[in-house]
Amino acid sequence: MPVQKFHSADGSKVERVVLSGPEGSSAEVYLFGATVTSWRSGGRERLFVSSLAKLDGSKPVRGGIPLVFPQFGPGDLPQHGFARTRRWTLFSAEEHGQGVVVNLQLKDDADTRASKWPFKFDLLYTIDLTATTLSTVLRIENVDSQPFSFTSLMHTYLRVSDIATTAVGGLKGVVYADKVKGTSDQVEQRDEVTVAANEDRVYTNVPGIVTVTDGGEKISIRRFNYKDIVLWNPWAEKAAEMSDFANEEYPQMICVEAGTVAGSISLSPGQTISCGQILTAESTSANI
């Protein structure tokens, strides 16, 4: 079966969906938060999930691709909004010529309407797996009688062999805010951005493809209707502050997150927008 649904074995009744694609590719998504927790391509796991991550629905998953909606960061709602802590439903699943796709759905309910963001909405999240790609697309529809605005992001944790030899390309010349240093309107001067300390940057209006090179492997990130890229690694001091992140794990991950967070997206009643990314895995090793 290309798509299978499982109940958690820990008694928490958390459900997950496993996609089996061509050439040994696979993906896993938890219905709690619609969080993709695994993507295997080319015989490698491409996503990072902390060994201390809670997978029982008690809190957002630390790793994979948590969905940020309708609020990025702190604000009137809990951190990063409510989409990553709601139970989504499996809407549909099917094979296609190159792989397999599933659609998950989340609609407003009494709890969301009672929040500080009380609008009626319909979210459809499409996860499309092929041998070398993982596409994650979020369609947002305003089914309310009044307009609303939101920010959204795919908080992608990529697994790397060593953060010391990992480089992010495609950001040169882009303006960014450095949330660690408290500065803004900085311009990235490097062809390849490397990380050697706690980093939390918001690159705005990124023009093209962003790449993450890790030794002989590369992930390309193509975006549509997401203007910004967030770059994050907690490093040792911040990792020690998180109960669901093991102290020694930060060298094996980097967050390169596609979203629109420096500004907001507005939808009138009846309007729909689709935002997303396509992750492509490839080898850069000369002998392969």
- Return the CATH number at 53: 2.70.98.10
Per-residue confidence (pLDDT) for residue 1, from 0 to 100: 58
Residues labelled catalytic: 155, 257
Number of domains into which the chain is organized: 1
Per-residue confidence (pLDDT) for residue 151, from 0 to 100: 98
What are the pLDDT digits (tens) for 127-171? 999 999 999 999 999 999 999 999 999 999 999 999 999 999 999
How far is C-alpha 135 from the geometric centre of its chain's CA atoms?
11
Q: How far apart are CA 186 and CA 247, in angstroms?
A: 30
Query: What is the span of the domain harbouring residue 150?
Result: 3-162+224-282
Task: Write phi, then psi, for 141 (nearest 5 degrees).
Answer: -120, 130
The Cβ-side half-sphere exposure at 206, using a 13 Å CA radius, reads 33
> For residue 147, is it within any domain?
yes
Sign of CA dihedral 191, 192, 196, 197: positive
Q: Which residues contact 93 (CB under 8 A, 6 or more apart)?
A: 2, 3, 17, 100, 101, 102, 103
Per-residue confidence (pLDDT) for residue 10, from 0 to 100: 61
Per-residue confidence (pLDDT) for residue 9, from 0 to 100: 57
> For residue 135, is it within any domain?
yes
Contact between residue 65 and residue 155 where contact means Cβ atoms under 8 Å apart: yes
> For residue 194, is it within any domain?
no
> For residue 219, is it within any domain?
no
The answer to whether 79 is a known ligand-binding residue is: yes
Per-residue confidence (pLDDT) for residue 180, from 0 to 100: 97
**How many helices (H) does the chain have, and how many strands (E)?**
2, 22
Residue with tokens 């062999």: 161
What are the pLDDT digits (tens) for 47-91? 999 999 999 999 999 999 999 999 999 999 999 999 999 999 999
H/E stretch holding 129 reads strand 121-130
The answer to whether 139 is a known ligand-binding residue is: no
The Cβ-side half-sphere exposure at 265, using a 13 Å CA radius, reads 25
The Cβ-side half-sphere exposure at 144, using a 13 Å CA radius, reads 20
> For residue 83, is it within any domain?
yes
The percent of residues in the chain predicted with pLDDT above 90, rounded, is 92
> For residue 152, is it within any domain?
yes
Q: Which residues contact 179 (CB under 8 A, 6 or more apart)?
A: 200, 201, 202
> For residue 176, is it within any domain?
no
> For residue 198, is it within any domain?
no
What are the pLDDT digits (tens) for 171-203? 999 999 999 999 999 999 999 999 999 999 999
Per-residue confidence (pLDDT) for residue 287, from 0 to 100: 42
- pLDDT-based confidence at 288, cuts 50/70/90? very low
Contact between residue 22 and residue 134 where contact means Cβ atoms under 8 Å apart: no
